[in-house]
Amino acid sequence: MYRVRVVKNFSSAHNLSGYEGNCENLHGHNWKVEAVLCGSNLDKVGMLIDFRVLKKTLGNVINDFDHKYLNDCLAFKTVNPTSENLAYYIFNELEKTFPKMVDKVTVWENEDSAAEYCRD
């Protein structure tokens, strides 16, 4: 099984409704998103996926969140914009372009805290 990964970053603010603690208040993060695709077949060039294509697609997904208040984004109208929900959303958006290839998405809200959503 081959795996490729790319990392992109964005900055945004959010708050967590129903959370009892500091994260209930408006605050921001410089998020880091890592996307991992996997597969057993390489193309004629010997690649699973061109890094440029994966970076561009991931960039298009997270661009909607960059320098935004996440709670106002359509993706988070009914769920809190937690790291877990961001990872889930990004995973599913990438699946639209790379069906059955997305292995996991990791969303870092700081250098020592991250959430992942993985294929079962």
* Helix, strand, coil % in the chain, rounded to nearest 5: 30, 35, 35
Q: Which of 14, 29, 34, 109 is catalytic?
A: 109
The string of pLDDT tens digits covering residues 12-65 is: 999 999 999 998 999 999 999 999 999 999 999 999 999 999 999 999 999 999
The amino acid that residue 66 corresponds to is: D
Q: Which residues of 39-54 are buried (b: 16+ CB within 10 A; e: fewer)?
A: beeeeeeeebbeeeeb
- Examine the residue annotation and report whether 27 is marked as an active-site residue of this protein: no
Q: Which of 24, 27, 67, 118 is catalytic?
A: 67
Give the CATH architecture of domain 2-118.
2-Layer Sandwich (3.30)
pLDDT band at 119 (very low <50, low <70, confident <90, very high): confident
CA-nearest of 7, 27, 5, 6 to 16 is: 27
Place of tokens 């991250």: 114
Q: Looking at the chain, how many residues does it have? A: 120
- Examine the residue annotation and report whether 73 is marked as an active-site residue of this protein: no
The pTM of this model reads: 0.95
